[in-house]
Amino acid sequence: MNNIFEAPFVKEMCDTTANMYRLGWDERNGGNVSYRLDAAMVESYLDPTMVQRTLPLQFDASYLAGQYFIVTATGKYFKNVKDCPQNNMGIIRICPDGRSYDILWGFADGSRPTSELPTHLMSHIERLKADPKHRVVMHCHPLNILSMTFVHELDDKSFTKTLWQMCTECIVVFPEGIGVLPWMVCGGNAIGEATAEKIRDHRIVLWAAHGIFGTGETMDEAFGLIETVEKAAQVYMTIGQMPVKQSITDAQLQKLCDAFGIVPRKGYLDV
C-alpha cells in the first residue's frame, strides 16, 4: 500500500488550501473544498474495507453511491492543513443507500467533514449531470466579491454583466454567467438545495454577504474561476466611487465570444 501522505490528491489539497489562505479567501475556519477522487487511485493508498466511522447524511445522495471524496474538516483552519492533513481533512465514501458515508482516512482528532457537506454533495450531483468529468467544489470568502454583494443588485443577469464588463477575459472564462443567491442560513439542506438549483447551469454561485462556490473538472479550473471573478469584483469595487468614462459594450462582448468561439448566456447581451 502506498503512503497516503504522498498521494497527489492529498498534496493538491494541501497546496490549494494553503494558497487560498494566503490570498485571504479563507479566514479562520472559513471555506471548504471537496474533490471527487478516482476509486482505483484511492484504493492504491487505502484499504476500502477499513472504515473508521460511518456518519449519517440528512438527504438522499444515492446518485453518488460508492464515490470517494477528499473533504476539508469542519471548524478547521486552512493554514493548518499542510502541516497536519490527517486532522484537517479526510477521505469519505458515500454508502450504497445514499443516506450515510464512511470515513476511510483523516479527521484523526475526531472531527468530521465541513458543515457545508450537504451543499457540496448536492452541487457535485448537479454538476456531474452536466459534466461527467466534474470533480471539484470550492467555497471561500474573497474580499471583493463579498463586498460587491452589499452594493450591487442581487440578480444573475445584472451581476454577471457587471463582472463581464470589468475585465476582458471574464466572458471567455465564464460565458454561462454566475448564479446569485440572497442571504440564507448556511450549513443546512435549504441553502444546499438552492445552490444546487443554480449550479445546474452555472459553474459559479455567489452567496450574498457570505462567499462564492466555484466548480470544475480540476482544482486549477475551480480555483481559476474564483480568481477571475474576484479580480473583476476588485476592479468594480476600486472604480465604484469614480466617474466611469467608458466600458466594454455588449457589442464588444459579442465580438469576444465570436473570436473565441463561445456562446454567452442567452438573453444577457443586447446585440
| Residues designated as active site | 116
- Residue 221 grid cell: 479550473
Chain-centroid distance of CA 9 in Å reads: 16
> CA 78 to CA 81: how far, in whole Å?
5
Q: How far, in Å, are 10, 34, 100 from residue 40 at the CA level?
A: 15, 18, 21
Which of 45, 25, 30 lies closest to 90, judged by CA? 45
> CA 78 to CA 111: how far, in whole Å?
14
